C-alpha cells in the first residue's frame, strides 16, 4: 500500500536521464527561447518511476535535454525535439 507523505509545491518532474550528477550536485541542460543550451544547477527530490522531482532551479514550461546532454555546451545552439519515451513492448 502506498500513501502520500507530503506535497512538494512548485516541484517539477523531469526524466531521470535528463539529470546530470557531478560530485554530489545535480544539474540539467535547459534549452532557452533562443534554442541555446544552458547548464543549470537544480535541487532534486525523490524519484518517481523513471522521473525525478526537481524542487528548485527549474521553472514550469522550461525544456530540458534528455538525450545527447554530453554534446551540449553552455551557449551552444541546439535543435530541440520532443522526447518520447519508448512505450512498453516497443523497440524489440
Band of the pLDDT at 82, cuts 50, 70, 90? confident
Number of domains making up the chain: 1
In angstroms, the Cα distances linking 49 to 13, 16, 35, 53 are 10, 9, 29, 10
The CATH number covering residue 40 comes to: 2.40.420.20
Tens digits of residue pLDDT in 32-76: 989 999 999 999 999 888 999 999 999 998 999 988 877 788 888
In a domain, residue 78? The reply is: no
Question: What is the span of the domain harbouring residue 48?
Answer: 12-71
In a domain, residue 59? The reply is: yes
User: Containing H/E element for 55?
Assistant: strand 51-56
In a domain, residue 6? The reply is: no
pTM above 0.85, yes or no: no
Amino acid at each position: 500500500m502506498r500513501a502520500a507523505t507530503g506535497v512538494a509545491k512548485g516541484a517539477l518532474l523531469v526524466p531521470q536521464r535528463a539529470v546530470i550528477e557531478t560530485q554530489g550536485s545535480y544539474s540539467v541542460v535547459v534549452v532557452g527561447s533562443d534554442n541555446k543550451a544552458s547548464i543549470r544547477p537544480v535541487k532534486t527530490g525523490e524519484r518517481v518511476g523513471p522521473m525525478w522531482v526537481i524542487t528548485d532551479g527549474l521553472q514550469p514550461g522550461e525544456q530540458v535535454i534528455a538525450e545527447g546532454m554530453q554534446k551540449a555546451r553552455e551557449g551552444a545552439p541546439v535543435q530541440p525535439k520532443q522526447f518520447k519515451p519508448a512505450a512498453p513492448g516497443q523497440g524489440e
